[in-house]
Each structure stands twice: as structure tokens, then as C-alpha cells.
């Protein structure tokens, strides 16, 4: 598949993830009154990935996440020569999704976007969890997510079930970690809304690049040991 097609697929898939996942948090989580809550937001994130993996996975592999791309590269399942291009497409796609969401969210009188679904720790954590807790949960959850991805897309796995496994895994991750960091496990997802909020969201953004990338890299390396047939 030509690289331009693959990059567009990554752009589009990541935009959908941010628009659908963060959109559920910004527009629907607390509306009206209780809204869809944490569980609804977790399901929305899972559904965004599930739908786009099936729709665009055949084109680009359906990463939609720099941590996934890096993890697959460490696992020798993706060429390092394409990593930077994929990451740029994912970040731009996330920004596009956040821009659409911002226009919608501010489209009524007295609109207040609040934290705009940004990630954070300390005072900016939904449950006021500190830096260490945030770092650990992001590394571990990204490790689990990338492990599921590389395993579900392994040549020995049932290809038709991969999207379902990946989507459900992301839902589970959000159910666990929304109270800690508002769940990143995806630097592109974290960067996009942070650019619209600024302040602490940008100051703390480093963690939501470092921790997911570390978790993804460990998962890629570890799966090489798990998958060996020698």
C-alpha cells in the first residue's frame, strides 16, 4: 500500500479516536446531570478504535497511536523507517479531531470546555493521583494494550477477531485508569486537547509521551520473547 494512503488512514483514524473518545467526555459524560459517566466514555474510546481498526486496518495497520507504532517497531512488526511519518500523521489527525470537537463544544452560549478531556496528574488528575501513580498506570496499561495488539494481529491469531479484542482492551484500560490520569496510553490523543487548553495540560504533557512510549516499547520487546517458536 502506498505510504500516502497509509498516512491518510492513520490521520483519519486518529482524528476519529479523538473526536469520538474525547467528544464523549466533553459533550456527553455529564449531560444531562449524570450523562454517560466514566463507563460510557470508556466504551466510546473502545468503539472508536474497534470501528477504525476494521475500517482502516487493512490500509495502514490501524495504529492510531504513536506508542503502538513504536511498540510494533520494537517488536519487529513495523519498519523503523516509517515510524516518524506515522507519528506525525497521528498527531495531526488528533489535532484535527480536537479542532472539530472544540468548534462543536463552544457552539452554544456560555460554553465552558473545562479541561477538554486532557490528561494530568496531581491536582489535574480526576482522582488527585500523584506523578508516580500516573506514570505507573500509563506504562502498565500501554504495555497491556500493545501486547494485545501484537498478539491479536499475530499470523497465528484469528484475524477477524483482532478489532474486537483491541477495542475491548482499550475499553477496559479506560475503566481502570480514567480516575488516575483521565487515560492517555496514546501521546497523540493527549497532545491534541492539550493544545487547546494550554497551561498545566501542556506542562504535564511530557509524561503522556514518555510513559506510553516506554510501555509500548517494553511490550514490543517482550512479545518477541513470548512469540518465539524456538
Please spell the DSSP secondary structure of 158-175, one letter per residue: -GGGHHHHHHHHHHHHHH
What is the pLDDT averaged over residues 42-69?
97
Q: Kindly give the interhelix angle for 3-17 and 37-60, rounded to the nearest 10 degrees.
A: 170
Q: What is the pLDDT of residue 10?
A: 98
pLDDT confidence band for 230 (50 / 70 / 90): low
C-alpha cell at 44: 466510546
Cα–Cα dist 172/43, whole Å: 8
Cα–Cα dist 42/39, whole Å: 5
pTM (2 d.p.):
0.95
Please spell the DSSP secondary structure of 80-129, one letter per residue: GGGHHHHHHHHHHHHHHHHHHHHHHHTSSTT---TTTT---SGGGSTT--
- Who's near 42: CB < 8 A, 6+ residues apart? 171, 172, 173, 174, 175, 178, 183
Q: What is the pLDDT of residue 3?
A: 95
Give per-residue pLDDT as tens, 182-223.
999 999 999 999 999 999 999 999 999 999 999 999 999 999
Domains parsed from the chain with CATH numbers: 3-226 (1.20.1080.10)
pLDDT of 229 higher than 70? no
Q: Kindly give the interhelix angle for 187-197 and 3-17, rounded to the nearest 10 degrees.
A: 60
Sign for the pseudo-dihedral over CA of 164, 192, 120, 206 = positive
For 126, which DSSP code?
Answer: T
Cα–Cα dist 46/208, whole Å: 19
Cα–Cα dist 192/196, whole Å: 7
Amino acid at each position: 500500500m502506498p505510504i500516502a494512503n497509509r498516512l491518510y488512514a492513520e490521520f483519519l483514524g486518529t482524528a476519529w479516536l479523538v473526536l469520538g473518545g474525547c467528544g464523549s467526555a466533553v459533550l456527553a459524560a455529564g449531560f444531562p446531570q449524570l450523562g454517560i459517566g466514566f463507563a460510557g466514555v470508556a466504551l466510546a474510546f473502545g468503539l472508536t478504535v474497534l470501528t477504525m481498526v476494521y475500517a482502516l486496518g487493512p490500509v495502514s495497520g490501524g495504529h492510531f497511536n504513536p506508542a503502538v507504532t513504536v511498540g510494533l517497531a520494537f517488536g519487529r512488526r513495523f519498519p523503523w523507517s516509517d515510524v516518524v511519518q506515522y507519528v506525525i500523521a497521528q498527531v495531526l489527525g488528533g489535532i484535527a479531531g480536537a479542532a472539530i470537537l472544540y468548534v462543536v463544544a463552544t457552539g452554544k452560549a456560555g460554553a465552558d470546555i473545562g479541561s477538554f478531556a486532557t490528561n494530568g496528574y496531581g491536582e489535574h488528575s480526576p482522582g488527585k493521583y500523584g506523578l508516580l501513580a500516573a506514570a505507573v498506570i500509563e506504562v502498565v496499561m500501554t504495555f497491556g494494550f500493545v501486547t494485545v495488539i501484537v498478539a491479536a494481529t499475530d499470523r497465528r491469531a484469528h484475524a477477524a477477531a483482532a478489532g474486537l479484542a483491541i477495542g475491548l482492551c482499550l475499553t477496559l484500560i479506560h475503566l481502570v485508569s480514567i480516575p488516575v490520569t483521565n487515560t492517555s496510553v496514546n501521546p497523540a490523543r493527549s497532545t491534541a486537547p492539550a493544545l487547546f487548553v494550554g497551561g498545566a495540560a501542556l506542562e504535564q504533557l511530557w509524561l503522556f509521551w514518555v510513559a506510553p512510549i516506554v510501555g509500548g516499547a517494553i511490550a514490543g520487546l517482550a512479545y518477541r520473547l513470548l512469540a518465539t517458536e524456538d
